[in-house]
Amino acid sequence: MYDPFDVTLEDGDLIGEVELTTTLIIAASESDSHLSTEEIDRILGVAPVPHQR
């Protein structure tokens, strides 16, 4: 029987953000000190931006 309320809700962007946040939380909880900006960028897969003059 068809149930209009039986739907799968999936937001790929949201799932990706939750995974990144979870990874960052785990890394922070395993660290003995504050994470540096460089460490956070590495964990999140952010490429460094070259300095412009």
Task: State pLDDT tens for residues 1-53.
Answer: 888 887 777 888 888 999 999 999 999 999 999 999 999 999 988 887 777 77
pTM: 0.64
Model pLDDT, residue 30: 95
Model pLDDT, residue 31: 93
Q: Is the dihedral of CA 24, 25, 26, 32 positive or negative?
A: positive
Amino acid present at 23: T
